[in-house]
Amino acid sequence: MPTHPVVIGVDSSTQSAKAVFIDAVTGRTLAVGRAPHQVSGEGGARESDPEVWWHALCEAVTTGLKDSGLSASAVTGIAVAGQQHGLVVLDRAGRPVRPALLWNDTRSAPQAAALTEALGGPDAWTARTGSVPVASMTAAKWQWLREHEPRSAAAAAAVRLPHDFLTERLAGTAATDPGDASGTCWYSTATGAYDPELLQLIGLDGDLLPPVAATGAARIGSLTAAAAGELGLPAGIAVAAGTGDNMAAAVGLGLGGAGLLDHPALSLGTSGTVFAASRTRPASAALAGFAAADGTYLPLACTLNCTLAVDKVAALLGLHRDTAEAGGEVVLLPYLDGERTPDLPAASGLLMGLRHTTTRQQLLGAAYEGAVVTVLRALDEVLRACGLDAADPEVAARPLLLIGGGARGRHWVETVRRLSGRPLVIPGSDELVALGAAALAAGAATGEDPVALASSWQGGGGTELPPVERDMETWERVSDVLERAAPTLLG
């Protein structure tokens, strides 16, 4: 049994809740509890009941505590990292008015386009928020709600992000952090506060929003007696402000002011993301210019279609995901849920270059290539947002940190190596979002810097893979199809 204090990091993702129990001194994972979420909706709709998130969090914590064999008295802090952008609308009793609109709900694409135009175009938005509205962003979802369900919008007594909703249940105190707030398009990364003009533009009363803590590690309160009873934890332990899942992953990787700056990471999950922590405030229409959880910035590009889309292609072909082969002449853009980067919310999958000699394994390999090229095309833009030249040999030699479920898949790793030409580092931890949340919890409990803590916990572990020669033929073939097809076939 550990004699050190224990902290809990919760990763509340689209599909599940994970509660990771971490030794706050050594960073050793003591237990992981899990519970599923449910997502509903057809076409562009993607919704979940926030109450399910809370029940899943409770189940994950109680299961992890039981499996760890720990005394609950060892736990000193908890923090939640949640899926970004989701719109949670609460009534006066703090209960959801309707299911939450999730980040990958694309119905608000017309509202996003209208908002972009209303402020004067992409540059006007990036100057204020660092990001341009797309269907994923919370402001577009709120606008969709106002137009399509005005009674739900009128009934709102509070508006929250997914991690805000859960944090408030823990502490009984409303709070968010700069990182997750920066994904709403009503928070200004230029001023570090909600933007009154943007709130007026979307018809949202700022009093409905939670206060913004200084950082994700800020202690915003203590675990209430009611929440403690449901979780089996002591009342009064530290509750951190928490953050969005991408921001927490950056903390877990040791990216930020007390760790690595301007160092790229690529996450292969339901979505594909590429990001880096930087002291330079990003303002590029080609990416999301988020704030980071520790007070730095997190330029990030996100694609909707990654591991889930490729797994769907594998299922359609009757293949295991690791039986894929290089695609040859075939190009397959697996945009099964529309696409966010590039901004093509109405897109569908596209197959080109089919021959009599094409095999099922090549078709599956082409799906991998389409997904990987899509997310890697944003890498240079992320580096530029950090003030770096991607062609600089020193910059090009920086290892790409590869994380997410896909980082454990052989063909995902091989495809990223082949199409990026970069060295890769695959960190040892499988739960970087939860690890980052645990570091935020430890910061709230002790006042220590969470990025420095996470860096010490990781201890440089992981798998290092040297670069291989870049497959420029495949890169150019897929990029050419994407550039030619996007304005016509996919828009």
Cα–Cα dist 51/173, whole Å: 17
- Told to judge if 294 belongs to the known catalytic residues of this protein, a careful annotator would answer no
The single residue of 11, 245, 449, 471 carrying the catalytic annotation is 245
- Does the N-terminal peptide bond of residue 178 adopt cis geometry, omega within 30 degrees of 0? no
Q: Has 320 been labeled as part of a binding site?
A: no
Q: What tokens appear for 28 in the block? A: 């050793």
Q: 15 phi and psi, to 5 degrees? A: -100, -25
* Residue carrying structure tokens 């966010």: 340
Residue 358 DSSP SS3 = coil
Cβ-contact 185, 125 below 8 angstroms: yes
Find out whether 162 and 175 touch, Cβ atoms under 8 Å.
Answer: no
- Residue 414 carries which side chain, given as an amino acid letter? E
Is the separation of the CB atoms in 228 and 362 below 8 Å? Answer: no
Cα distances (Å, whole numbers) of residue 65 to 6, 20, 57, 58 = 11, 9, 12, 11
Residue 355 — left, alpha, or beta (φ > 0 → left; ψ -120 to 50 → alpha)?
Answer: beta
What crossing angle do the helices spanning 360-376 and 410-420 adopt, rounded to 10°? 60
Q: What angle do CA 453, 455, 459 make, to 5 degrees?
A: 115
Give the end-to-end CA distance of the chain in Å, rounded to a whole number.
57
- Using alpha carbons, list the distances in angstroms from residue 220 to 88, 170, 354: 20, 10, 56
37 is annotated as contributing to ligand binding? no
CA 251 vs. chain centroid, Å, equals: 12
The distance of Cα 220 from the centroid of its chain, to the nearest Å, equals 22
* Binding-site positions for substrate: 84-85
* Binding-site positions: 84-85
State the catalytic residues. Answer: 245
